[in-house]
């Protein structure tokens, strides 16, 4: 069975495409896993930024949405759901003011995160001024060394107490992101990081319980750890983002088969030389990512196949370099005519979506729709 | 003298900013150099994608504009100038059809490039069908090994003859892009590549002249080669793009002083740990570029300074890693409060502009304007 037919072969390139059926299967796979443990799903919208995909996630049982940026979240304050987490440390009055105004205006169930005294003080002040209830997750660093308090940091207890004592704030629980999992070399390392994450979070919960402080919820979120099918007992919520599309990175980590990758890019051979086919998708379409969180486990900038030979191993070509508007596809023993289409598996799906204004959604080889990337460019 | 004042320190972050005076000085510097050799300037809009900046370039003597993408060029078909080059091999009927329709509709002076039989045939057919005159540059590979015919390729003569024989096509000249200059290690290598480029182009011109084929114009374009102040005798036209902003890469190559960098990003410290200040500009603002054309001469993803200590060497910090919405700024012996601003010099300016919908334009520390990135997202 050919995966694509002439309709998709004829689209103008470069074009970001999402396979509807694969995407739906990916969503259901992860949601079903969560359901087995009776835990909530609050997907991160950063990967799709698209109202249509959020709608599917909610229809498939998500209880709300997560975003990193206030402006990005605001695109989804349209009544489609009420529960939001801004999984990003807000530390400035004006940003908090804005998100809390929306919280009031739309009657949202809003969770924010705290990992510093400064963040706490800013949120506390603005919640008071606006007289609005805010749920607070303490952000715990589980190894990425980005945001979050290390498990042995005394501020965990101190901030927990302060949050508990504050009238407008509710200490909801602990939150983490094991982003360093994207630097793993194989599935064994992914599983180890996933287990370590839970161990750290449970130890912090126990520590707080020793001081009679209950952390009701534990929220984790990183697609690779979830794809290992890890035991999620004791977890309240997951916040995966990338799981809807998947990409070369999750394939390389051994977590998925390439047939599970929903996001690809169609491009055209516009020139060629002894070493390369030159295609019309460069870093302004594929991004220069060689992984996520500056992971460098991937060589090159994606995998390309002649579109009619998509996923046929003998026809796999590496994208060795990128200019802004050109991809250097290394030749692999066969020729391709100028003007022919290649289909590309990106290294990392999320920045690819962020670079386009819309995605072609296809199903069984037919173009089903064109979806806008509604929250693209909302960086504030 | 402080370069920035409180007005800019207070803008919401992350924010891409362009210093008006520096940008104007950069434009004038390169344009003056071209003027000394009486050669045309046809800037590449890919770096700014902005009508306001194109206006300045034209006011400062540019004779037209260059673009890689038809849709990107189309944003500038508004009467501001008539002369355009699509410096990208168009090989598909529908793309050529579209650009030639606009050429007729707006009465444009349109130059296209050819580096293959297929490209020639497609342009020839569509020019005939639409009955429109098109100038053709033969694209020569001067070492990037991307598009273009190598100097010893017999198709150069063959295609030249075909173009000459075609009623609607005019063989305008030779065109090149020495993009491999971005992989140079120092200014000496840049100069060598610049000289080599001219040598190759002059040899092709001579070869064609031996067959009585005159290549009226020679068009080159890459900011670094121009910044060396190289002798441009024999050249007809330059097509620089990045020169308006400049960035860490041209600084690293020894071509400019950091004070000549017009494009910076303001960000905020949102968290910190033992190793890093975490700022709110990640790969969705700075891109993951470690150079241009996959050059890897730069370590990390940009340089950061406390905003009030911008360009003070003792306060320079490296951005060691990027998540999508976070920058990992390596600590450098001093502390910064959470909520404080850092100002970042990006590795590569062009993809940074491509990631934002607008730029804050500042002058003498004051916000002068906010300019839209009009052609952002026009990838077709």
Chain pair A-B, CB pairs under 8 angstroms? 179
Contact A301 B294 (CB under 8 A): yes
Grade residue A5 by pLDDT with cuts at 50, 70 and 90.
low
pLDDT of A229 reads 87
Nearest Cβ partner for B339 among A91, A147, A278: A91
What CATH number matches the domain at A82-240, 3.20.20.10, 1.10.10.10, 2.60.40.10, 3.10.400.10? 3.20.20.10
Across B96-100, average pLDDT: 97
Contact A283 B351 (CB under 8 A): yes
Which residue is closest to A351 within chain B, CA to CA? B284
pLDDT of B294 reads 65
What whole-number distance in Å separates Cα of residue A204 and Cα of residue A215?
A: 9
B4 vs B154, which has greater pLDDT?
Answer: B154
Q: Which of A150, A300, A324 to mutate to test the interface with B (most CBs of B within 10 A)?
A: A324
pTM over 0.90: yes
Which residue is closest to A281 within chain B, CA to CA? B379
Contacts of A70 in chain B (CB under 8 A): none
Which residue is closest to B295 within chain A, CA to CA? A321
Nearest Cβ partner for A92 among B145, B339, B354: B339
Contacts of A319 in chain B (CB under 8 A): none
Contact B147 A326 (CB under 8 A): yes
Across A357-378, average pLDDT: 95
B294 vs A84, which has greater pLDDT?
Answer: A84
CB of A104 within 8 Å of any CB in chain B?
no
pLDDT of B7 reads 79
Burial B8-44 (b: 16+ CB within 10 A, else e): beebbbbbbbbbbebbbebbeebbebbeeeebbbbbb
Whole-number average pLDDT of chain B:
95
Contact A324 B351 (CB under 8 A): yes
CB of B285 within 8 Å of any CB in chain A?
yes
CB of A285 within 8 Å of any CB in chain B?
yes
Residues 292-331 in A contacting B (C-alpha not used; CB under 8 Å):
292-294, 301, 320-326, 328
CB of B120 within 8 Å of any CB in chain A?
no
CB of B351 within 8 Å of any CB in chain A?
yes
pLDDT at A1 over 60: no
% residues pLDDT > 90 (chain A): 89
Nearest-neighbour CA in chain A from B36: distance (Å):
30
Residues 25-44 in B contacting A (C-alpha not used; CB under 8 Å):
none
Across A356-372, average pLDDT: 95
Contacts of A176 in chain B (CB under 8 A): none
Contacts of A355 in chain B (CB under 8 A): 354-355, 377
Burial B77-113 (b: 16+ CB within 10 A, else e): beeebebbbbbbbbbbeebbebbbebbeeeebebbbb
Nearest to B182 by CA among B232, B245, B249: B249
What whole-number distance in Å separates Cα of residue A286 and Cα of residue A264?
A: 10
Contacts of A92 in chain B (CB under 8 A): 268, 339
pLDDT of A197 reads 95
**DSSP-based helix, strand, coil % in chain A, nearest 5:** 35, 25, 40
What whole-number distance in Å separates Cα of residue A122 and Cα of residue A92?
A: 6
Residues 149-178 in A contacting B (C-alpha not used; CB under 8 Å):
150
Interface predicted TM-score (ipTM):
0.95
Contacts of B91 in chain A (CB under 8 A): 268-271, 338-339
List, in sequence order, every residue forming a beta bridge with B1; answer none if it has no partner: none
Across A147-157, average pLDDT: 96
pLDDT of A207 reads 96
CB of A242 within 8 Å of any CB in chain B?
no
Domain map of chain B by residue range?
6-17+252-368, 44-240
Contacts of B293 in chain A (CB under 8 A): 321-323
pLDDT of B10 reads 86
pLDDT at A302 over 90: yes
The tens digit of pLDDT for each residue in A17-33 reads 999 999 999 999 999 99
Whole-number average pLDDT of chain A:
95
* Residues constituting chain A: 380
pLDDT at A4 over 60: no
Structural contact between residues B286 and B300, judged by C-beta atoms closer than 8 angstroms: no
Structural contact between residues A348 and A289, judged by C-beta atoms closer than 8 angstroms: yes
- What is each CA distance from B254 to B191, B227, B249, B261, in whole angstroms? 11, 10, 9, 13
Across B237-249, average pLDDT: 97
Contacts of A323 in chain B (CB under 8 A): 146, 179, 292-294
Contacts of B285 in chain A (CB under 8 A): 379
What whole-number distance in Å separates Cα of residue A136 and Cα of residue A112?
A: 5
Contacts of B289 in chain A (CB under 8 A): 283, 288
Which residue is closest to A115 within chain B, CA to CA? B271
Across B63-73, average pLDDT: 97
Which residue is closest to A67 within chain B, CA to CA? B325
Nearest to B326 by CA among A242, A68, A176, A84: A68
Across B163-189, average pLDDT: 93
Contacts of A301 in chain B (CB under 8 A): 294
Nearest-neighbour CA in chain B from A214: distance (Å):
25
Residues 133-152 in B contacting A (C-alpha not used; CB under 8 Å):
141, 145-148, 150
pLDDT of B5 reads 61
Is A6-17+252-368's fold the same as A82-240's? no
Residue with tokens 């400035």: A92
Which residue is closest to A114 within chain B, CA to CA? B271
Which residue is closest to A92 within chain B, CA to CA? B339
pLDDT of B1 reads 43
Across A292-305, average pLDDT: 85
What whole-number distance in Å separates Cα of residue B237 and Cα of residue B243?
A: 15
DSSP category for residue A292: S
Structural contact between residues A198 and A210, judged by C-beta atoms closer than 8 angstroms: no
Contact A324 B350 (CB under 8 A): yes
Residues 53-82 in B contacting A (C-alpha not used; CB under 8 Å):
68-69
**B105: which residues sit within 8 A by CB, 6+ positions away?**
none
What CATH number matches the domain at B6-17+252-368, 2.40.37.20, 2.60.40.10, 3.40.50.2020, 3.90.1150.10? 2.40.37.20
Which residue is closest to A180 within chain B, CA to CA? B323
CB of B21 within 8 Å of any CB in chain A?
no
Q: Which of B126, B180, B280 to mutate to test the interface with A (most CBs of A within 10 A)?
A: B280
Q: Is A199 left (phi over 0), alpha (psi -120 to 50) or beta?
A: alpha
Grade residue B285 by pLDDT with cuts at 50, 70 and 90.
very high
CATH 3.65.10.10 fits B44-240, yes or no: no
**Tally of CB atoms within 10 A around B295:** 22
The tens digit of pLDDT for each residue in A38-69 reads 999 999 999 999 999 999 999 999 999 999 99
Dihedral sign, CA of A332, B143, A267, A240? positive
pLDDT at A206 over 90: yes
Grade residue A294 by pLDDT with cuts at 50, 70 and 90.
low
Nearest-neighbour CA in chain B from A286: distance (Å):
11
pLDDT at A255 over 70: yes
CB of A335 within 8 Å of any CB in chain B?
no
Grade residue B70 by pLDDT with cuts at 50, 70 and 90.
very high
Residues 177-216 in B contacting A (C-alpha not used; CB under 8 Å):
179
% residues pLDDT > 90 (chain B): 89
What whole-number distance in Å separates Cα of residue A364 and Cα of residue B192?
A: 53
Grade residue B233 by pLDDT with cuts at 50, 70 and 90.
very high
Across B35-60, average pLDDT: 97
Taking only Cα atoms into account, the Rg of chain A, rounded to an integer number of angstroms, comes to: 22
- Which strands make up the sheet holding A109-114, listed edge to edge? A40-41, A237-238, A217-220, A169-175, A134-139, A109-114, A83-89, A65-67
What whole-number distance in Å separates Cα of residue B115 and Cα of residue A24?
A: 43
The tens digit of pLDDT for each residue in B104-121 reads 999 999 999 999 999 999
Contacts of B119 in chain A (CB under 8 A): 270-271, 338
């Amino acid at each position: 069975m050919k995966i694509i037919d002439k309709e998709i072969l004829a689209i103008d390139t470069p074009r970001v495409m999402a396979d509807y059926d694969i995407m739906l299967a990916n969503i259901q796979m992860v949601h079903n896993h969560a359901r087995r443990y009776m835990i909530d799903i609050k997907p991160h919208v950063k990967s799709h930024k698209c109202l249509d995909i959020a709608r599917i996630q909610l229809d498939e049982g998500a209880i709300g949405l997560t975003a990193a940026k206030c402006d990005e979240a605001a695109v989804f304050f349209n009544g489609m759901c009420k529960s939001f987490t801004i999984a990003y440390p807000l530390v400035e009055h004006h940003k908090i003011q804005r998100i809390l105004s929306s919280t009031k205006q739309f009657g949202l169930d809003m969770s924010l995160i705290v990992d510093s005294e400064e963040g706490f003080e800013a949120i506390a002040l603005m919640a008071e001024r606006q007289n609005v209830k805010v749920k607070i997750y303490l952000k715990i660093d589980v190894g990425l060394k980005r945001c979050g308090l290390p498990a042995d940091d005394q501020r965990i207890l101190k901030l927990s107490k302060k949050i508990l004592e504050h009238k407008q704030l509710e200490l909801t629980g602990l939150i983490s992101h094991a982003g360093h999992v994207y630097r793993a070399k194989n599935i064994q390392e992914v599983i180890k990081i996933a287990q370590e994450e839970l161990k750290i979070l449970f130890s912090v919960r126990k520590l707080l319980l020793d001081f009679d402080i209950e952390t009701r919820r534990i929220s984790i979120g990183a697609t690779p750890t979830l794809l290992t099918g890890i035991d999620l007992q004791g977890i309240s919520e997951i916040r995966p983002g990338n799981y809807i599309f998947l990409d070369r990175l999750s394939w390389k980590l051994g977590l998925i088969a390439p047939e599970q990758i929903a996001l690809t890019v169609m491009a055209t051979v516009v020139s060629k030389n002894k070493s390369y086919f030159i295609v019309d998708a460069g870093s302004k379409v594929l991004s220069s990512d060689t992984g996520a969180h500056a992971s460098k486990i991937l060589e090159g900038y994606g995998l390309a196949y002649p579109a009619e030979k998509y996923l046929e191993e003998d026809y796999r070509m590496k994208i060795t370099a990128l200019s802004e508007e050109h991809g250097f596809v290394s030749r692999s023993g066969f020729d391709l005519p100028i003007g022919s289409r290649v289909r590309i598996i990106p290294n990392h799906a999320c920045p690819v979506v962020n670079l386009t204004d819309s995605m072609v959604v296809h199903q069984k080889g037919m173009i089903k729709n064109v979806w806008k990337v509604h929250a693209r460019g909302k960086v504030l």
